[in-house]
Structure 1
């Protein structure tokens, strides 16, 4: 019996179903339990400190203090590393003079009719500069991760890389200096930087992820999402586009999405599913049409070459 060819819409629906179900399965794994136990040890920073960290080290992923890296994670800060400055709360005590009142809240006066005062010690909270270090600035025991590096090769890798760049709204660069990240999108510099030397499938997947950030307007004036939502959106688009191109990034994408989601229902994914789907559809359609066009051009060239040979 002849197999019925899957339509584009059917393929999109199948990818959507797998994206939702497979990501939720991660939460039941032992790997997730180990991961979340480790992540719980990292401190949570205020929004102002997050801005300070991002402004000084855009590629920062996991940060904490010098001693905490040693005691909690068995890692040490590398020599000659410069700390990332944040503002830390500090409590201090000081003696102050306060007016005295009786049990009826009336001022207690001295013989001259002036309100009496007494010295008391009070605790105050102030702020001081403190320094933290990112994972890329340390060495030691590995940090658990839910995402597995993709090491597969990709057919027509250079062509596909060129086409992904084509759908990116900003320039794409390749560099060895991306910190602990596989790549990043800089809204302020309007560019994408991808770590060079990665395996082919990881390179393509990372390119699509960063391109999704740019196409979704992350970091722009109208950006209304928190970091978790932005990462879930970008990686969901990356998985979706890759799947439409028959590239399997599930070993990386499902764990990555689960790691960024705030709850086991993956609400960031569900609430933004239509946006993710539309973005993935637009990107994959452009790439697919260009691949088909180039395939047809190659076929025409081969047919012309064959016809010339026969006419000799």
Structure 2
């Protein structure tokens, strides 16, 4: 799992572009496949169970996953196993009643009278809804009919693999979570959840390492994009204009928080409007003004415009603001929950890929189950990418901080001192004899660390490990190598070749 080596901004952007494109192609291919179409066709034949029936099913058979009637299971080429008892639910049924009603004039709303002045009545046949007790069976109560086509019923398969350095990785992700993380036995069967009301993330206990990490990242993505815990970012401010076309026509409010902007926008009286009102944002980066952009016009979020302007499309702060605005205004017609799940799972896929954890089968199926159509994914890719970049950067930094804390190394100078002391103790390749002047080896090591070119140092430490002369030195070399990787940064080939000619093979 290559997670300790720093990457330049360009390298990280290139990686995110590759992963985002891979996500788009993977999900669309999965959704368009016969496998997914079959799943959707199967699910269409199931009842859409009410909350009450869901509770009844849970009470009678807590481990139920897919339930259907006897007739439906027959259509899926499955028989009910002998001795199985059905799960009782309330099944809707329709019946008709006839009653006499007065005929009403649709224009006046008055009862129509005949020539004698009597009210005219007619027999109305009305459809009524009632309920009866019916029985369904869980898939575990059925058996495949031999020789018949076998249907697939689950779009996702739980991850089962172990994860290299699981404890360190979990702590690193937990550290960047804006809310506390805990483990529980979640009775609903969910693998985890994020609660903005209780400000917490809960993970199902007893899952595999890969499923646990993926679920944690999924819930952290929810908290970043959809929660209220993230502090206001000073790189973004908001404004409200009564007239979007000409800000000078009517009131204009500047330097607002998002909550203030929403309230100002809603408080503009309709009679005072001189055009379409607007909420916009001003974006800064490192103190540099990048521009202004309307986010909401005429009560509609300007998704297409936002995703067209690159600095705004790639800004996590802007995309977070869009998600908060979605709670108040319409945008793409997709349900808020489906959009949230699509975003969170897609972010989890990208971050897991960066960490070397394969979630293709799980994530593509999960995203596909929430995706209404291809446009929904495409319109959310910028939010997915920007949040993925935000989490990757913070996880990488958290991992580096954790390793450096573990070994008591917090600066280039600390690292150079530890390496110099180790090499003097071990005296590998007559290290002391290579000194041009007192402290020259230390100076060369420090210079390489500051430039981020650690390949030569890592090579030397690897040779120490491979030779295995002394368990103590091998153990220390492994720890130092892990620390050195936290200072690594890719450089040009020319620089690397030049550095290898100096000192500790830098």
Answer yes or no: same fold by TM over 0.5: yes
User: Paired residue for 1:203, among 203, 206, 212?
Assistant: 212
Cα offset, 1:119, TM superposition: 5.6
Cross-structure match for 2:177: 168
Which sits farther off after the overlay, 126-135 or 290-299? 126-135
Task: Give the Cα–Cα distance (whole angstroms) in 1 for the partners of residues 401 and 187 of structure 2.
Answer: 34
Task: Give the Cα–Cα distance (whole angstroms) in 1 for the partners of residues 348 and 185 of structure 2.
Answer: 22
| C-alpha contact 1:64 1:132 (8 A) present in aligned 2 | no
Matches within 5 A, 1:284-303: 284-298=392-406
**SS of alignment partner, residue 218 of structure 2:** helix
Over 3 Å counting, the alpha-carbon distance change for 1:106 and 1:188 in structure 2 is: closer
Task: Give the Cα–Cα distance (whole angstroms) in 1 for the partners of residues 11 and 94 of structure 2.
Answer: 61
Q: Deviations over 1:57-93 (max 9, x none)?
A: 9xxx9887877886777699x99x997x99x695541
Matches within 5 A, 1:42-191: 42-43=46-47, 92-99=96-103, 107-109=113-115, 113-118=116-121, 120-125=123-128, 144-191=153-200
Cα offset, 1:149, TM superposition: 1.9
Cross-structure match for 1:273: 381
Task: Give the Cα–Cα distance (whole angstroms) in 1 for the partners of residues 183 and 137 of structure 2.
Answer: 22
| C-alpha contact 1:236 1:269 (8 A) present in aligned 2 | no
**SS of alignment partner, residue 7 of structure 1:** helix
1:8 equivalent to 2:45? Answer no
Cross-structure match for 1:228: 338
Cα offset, 1:255, TM superposition: 2.0
1:40 equivalent to 2:49? Answer no
Cα offset, 1:277, TM superposition: 1.0
| C-alpha contact 1:65 1:131 (8 A) present in aligned 2 | no
Q: Deviations over 1:129-182 (max 9, x none)?
A: 9999998x9865796223222211112211211222222222222122243322
Cross-structure match for 2:147: none
Cα offset, 1:236, TM superposition: 0.5
Over 3 Å counting, the alpha-carbon distance change for 1:143 and 1:93 in structure 2 is: farther
Over 3 Å counting, the alpha-carbon distance change for 1:173 and 1:128 in structure 2 is: farther
Cα offset, 1:202, TM superposition: 0.8
| C-alpha contact 2:112 2:119 (8 A) present in aligned 1 | no
Q: Deviations over 1:274-306 (max 9, x none)?
A: 111111111111110121223344555697599
**SS of alignment partner, residue 194 of structure 2:** strand
Which sits farther off after the overlay, 67-76 or 246-255? 67-76
Task: Name the count of aligned residue pairs.
Answer: 291
Task: Give the Cα–Cα distance (whole angstroms) in 2 for the partners of residues 69 and 192 of structure 1.
Answer: 38
Cross-structure match for 2:26: 22
TM-score, with normalisation over the residues of structure 1? 0.71
Higher relative contact order (CA 8 A, sep 6+): 1
Cross-structure match for 2:278: none
Cα offset, 1:11, TM superposition: 0.9
| C-alpha contact 2:47 2:68 (8 A) present in aligned 1 | no
Task: Give the Cα–Cα distance (whole angstroms) in 1 for the partners of residues 135 and 336 of structure 2.
Answer: 22
Task: Give the Cα–Cα distance (whole angstroms) in 2 for the partners of residues 71 and 246 of structure 1.
Answer: 43
Cα offset, 1:209, TM superposition: 0.8
Consecutive unaligned residues in structure 2, runs of 5 or more: 1-6, 59-63, 106-110, 144-150, 229-322, 328-334, 410-414, 427-506
TM-score, with normalisation over the residues of structure 2? 0.47
Q: What RMSD, in angstroms, separates the aligned Cα atoms of the two structures? A: 4.6
Consecutive unaligned residues in structure 1, runs of 5 or more: none
Task: Give the Cα–Cα distance (whole angstroms) in 1 for the partners of residues 22 and 359 of structure 2.
Answer: 12
Task: Give the Cα–Cα distance (whole angstroms) in 2 for the partners of residues 245 and 36 of structure 1.
Answer: 31
Task: Give the Cα–Cα distance (whole angstroms) in 2 for the partners of residues 106 and 156 of structure 1.
Answer: 82
Cα offset, 1:8, TM superposition: 1.2
Over 3 Å counting, the alpha-carbon distance change for 1:268 and 1:189 in structure 2 is: same
